[in-house]
Structure 1
């Protein structure tokens, strides 16, 4: 979302006189935050009279449904708070900030390709280390979806052209950025994932194209420095780093990406970071007391599978089982036995609930039967979730460690949500549904081009939807 700024003063006087802060105004009503985040695609009014292929097209859109969990409003408030607090100390109109950007750019000449110089030792002094937050939960609970949906109602890029009496203030301010851990043990790949995300936000082909072309002949330190320069020059307000548990795959490999590199890239420049990870990745943070203190200096958010008959579960069920598609009102009461079986099979895991409902409806239409056939539901589950039976069985009894260990993974560490994904992985190395469109996979060998127009992460099923 790229916008032109509308500058407004804040009740906090320390934020005023700063175009980065005055261009942002928070949504103060929690219900409005939920309304903007909740999403249901528009389904055909005459769904039940459509030909089968058009019915199937509508059914596919069930994967785009997003129900904001209760934590969404708390997360929105925290992210906006961190963004504004960071901008409090990063006013682009001050001499201090101008000097900082100059000194940061000058560091490129100091390290000039010498890998012996560690980038985190040459960061310009004077900047306050920004706070870090963690968002954790079992695989499939929707961590990435929630964070990107919340970020999606915050403007991502603000194009400044003038501010007050300063007619020449021209700046593309990136308020937030979200990118994934690399699938390979390469700090350069980590940097390139960031560059690709910046290009996507700005709608240009610049940073990723430039650095992927000369990556082999450029040192790791220079890559990290350029990430710092881009982040500082675009005044990034907050960074979301996704899939931290990928670090586990190559934690023992020398010079592989780690949390210290992330901290050097952003936190030490005054840019707050929120890291999302499965519970499996949490030991990476607690392994080093200093890292734990810094990365958990702000808040630890947790997301869990839905519990039966809770308000969150009811909201989720009502959003998925729309009368317009399923032909029945109030399924929680009128189809209670079916819903109980549905919950039992899915273990309350949001990603499985979405996919199971979609596939079950598809097969029930193919067979011409009722969409609330519990026996067919079990058959669909047995057929399409064969590889997940062991992991879901562990989840049902609350054994989250076994769940993470047993859940099928693709070679890049992403989850294979279906039998087909596992089969294709074995045959060709292709990735499964959930992460097939993320920046890491689309990068492949760092040769793909960034899109020519901005990509908005809000309610884009390729980014937050799913399975």
Structure 2
């Protein structure tokens, strides 16, 4: 929205109201609707919902510990499907229809607030309240754990600012949506407490302190919850994990469902109920709620089929790959992922993440169908019964798995991260140590070989003796001790070879001409060099016994 300005009203995302004229007559003149973002076309919805995390080709060549962290980006990958676009339209209609008849500029709205504020108990709280003529309704979203219900709903809700600040003359904070988790025991008191805490978190108010007292009855807390929801113009109330109502104490589920009906009928606040297949029995148990929750249809999201939509999802996901070897996506890999995930998006993405972590950690840097099956076998033990129920298609068995979380990546993260870091540190240490040993060895070899040459030992024999002496060198030995051992080795080698024949030179020596077959002692060469003020090394090099590194490279 244009001219947005942030407000410090709590932890919610708050913007100032920017009123836009509405095309639909039902929405015109209502500031609660005029301040909402524009209604999206299908193309705009896809663009708004899609989430493709950034990835660079150069990241493949990062060290393992860095690539390990890059893999986590896959958790932000979101590919909109047809059912996501349907849900976006449902939410857009639900919020706007719920605001019809709740115009804060109307006299009825003011009367209702005054009456609600004066009530202390929940019994018939809206007996004399003006009738709310709105299109408010509700719907339920049912699907197995991990299918992406909550993720998709939260992405859709994120398209709306959660708090809109209306200044003079309205002076109110509009809560566009409030999302709660149903209490684990299905209690109404727990629901009220969660609601007050969430509103306090968003707006910085103190409703929890005022209304969550043990002195107040549940009925009174429910009345206050209704009043707060009406006061802050809550556009939609989303209750997740609704299957927990099945665990409510006697009458708890019916009472909470009746309360939702009251919110819809008397105040006009739409309610979205989200849960697993186990919630179906709860919703159908109360006929009125079953009817009301069908206002926009009961959406039942089943596992994905092995079709073009699955290929679209996996092809987009496969792009996020951090193994050094690029793995092309094949039909075999698609089939392996589907077999192990049974079309559950959350499981498919996390299997792919763990397969990459394993490939990077082991240094194999490769993923195939066998890797997918191995990772699934080792890490999906907790959801194996649920996956088996999905394979058989048994609805009764599937409904038993209402609160299973597909994979705990944190546990896998903690198990693999130290392994990768330690392996990388060891590898780097060994590499550095080997380089140091190599440099040290080369340095000692040069020192020992040069010392032997200065002792007038044949160069080839000096090289061999030096290498042998260094090969048995102890850590505590000094270089001088190695030279002494090398000299003894060279002396032993000369017992059977007291003289050598001078190699044929390419050019005649500038000094005295000799017969190339005439025996010559190295000491003679060194002595002749001394006469010219040359070192033993220089004299031997000039005579052709020693070649420089450059000479060795010339073929």
TM-score (norm 2): 0.67
Q: Among 327, 330, 338, which residue is 2:333 paired with?
A: 338
Matched, 1:316 2:313: yes
Instruction: Name the residue aligned to 2:6.
Output: none
Q: Which moved more, 1:99-108 or 1:34-43?
A: 34-43
Counterpart mapping for 1:37-52 below 5 A: 37-43=49-55, 45-52=57-64
Alignment CA distance shift 1:96-1:323 (3 Å):
closer
CA distance in 2, matches of 1:123, 1:287: 30
Instruction: Name the residue aligned to 2:207.
Output: 207
8 A contact 1:119–1:224 mirrored in 2: no
Matched, 1:414 2:403: yes
Instruction: Name the residue aligned to 1:171.
Output: 172
TM-score (norm 1): 0.78
Tell which has more relative contact order, 1 or 2 (C-alpha 8 A, sep 6+).
1
CA distance in 2, matches of 1:194, 1:41: 33
Alignment CA distance shift 1:373-1:298 (3 Å):
closer
CA distance in 1, matches of 2:128, 2:397: 41
Following TM superposition, by how much is the alpha carbon of 1:385 offset from its aligned partner in structure 2, in angstroms?
0.5
Instruction: Name the residue aligned to 2:160.
Output: 154
Alignment CA distance shift 1:50-1:396 (3 Å):
same
Larger Rg: 2
CA distance in 2, matches of 1:80, 1:18: 16
Instruction: Name the residue aligned to 1:394.
Output: 389
Instruction: Name the residue aligned to 2:44.
Output: 32
Following TM superposition, by how much is the alpha carbon of 1:74 offset from its aligned partner in structure 2, in angstroms?
2.0
CA distance in 2, matches of 1:301, 1:12: 26
Instruction: Name the residue aligned to 1:143.
Output: 149
Alignment CA distance shift 1:119-1:385 (3 Å):
farther
Matched, 1:373 2:368: yes
Matched, 1:7 2:12: no
Q: What per-residue deviation string (whole Å, max 9, x for no partner) do you get for residues 381-411 of structure 1?
A: 1111112212201202322331232x4xxxx
CA distance in 2, matches of 1:192, 1:368: 51
8 A contact 2:237–2:272 mirrored in 1: yes
* Equivalent position SS for 1:275: strand
Q: What per-residue deviation string (whole Å, max 9, x for no partner) do you get for residues 342-375 of structure 1?
A: 1101101112112211111111111112432222
* Equivalent position SS for 1:325: coil
Matched, 1:362 2:357: yes
8 A contact 1:386–1:419 mirrored in 2: no
* Equivalent position SS for 1:46: helix
Q: What per-residue deviation string (whole Å, max 9, x for no partner) do you get for residues 156-184 of structure 1?
A: 2111113xxxxx32111111121110113
8 A contact 2:138–2:293 mirrored in 1: yes
8 A contact 1:186–1:256 mirrored in 2: no
Instruction: Name the residue aligned to 2:295.
Output: 297
Matched, 1:180 2:178: no
Alignment CA distance shift 1:269-1:123 (3 Å):
farther
* Equivalent position SS for 1:107: coil
CA distance in 2, matches of 1:362, 1:272: 43
Alignment CA distance shift 1:267-1:329 (3 Å):
farther
CA distance in 2, matches of 1:250, 1:330: 50
* Equivalent position SS for 1:150: helix
Structure 1: unaligned runs, 5 residues or longer: 112-116, 163-167, 408-412, 424-467
Q: What per-residue deviation string (whole Å, max 9, x for no partner) do you get for residues 233-285 of structure 1?
A: 11111121111111112254668863112223454311111111212111111
CA distance in 2, matches of 1:392, 1:335: 23
Alignment CA distance shift 1:271-1:236 (3 Å):
same
Instruction: Name the residue aligned to 1:190.
Output: 191
Structural RMSD (CA):
2.7
CA distance in 1, matches of 2:261, 2:158: 24
| Paired residues, number | 399
Instruction: Name the residue aligned to 1:127.
Output: 132
Q: Among 92, 103, 106, which residue is 1:94 paired with?
A: 106
8 A contact 1:199–1:207 mirrored in 2: yes
8 A contact 2:180–2:239 mirrored in 1: yes
CA distance in 2, matches of 1:143, 1:323: 23
Alignment CA distance shift 1:195-1:74 (3 Å):
same
8 A contact 1:47–1:324 mirrored in 2: no
* Equivalent position SS for 1:302: strand
CA distance in 2, matches of 1:288, 1:324: 49
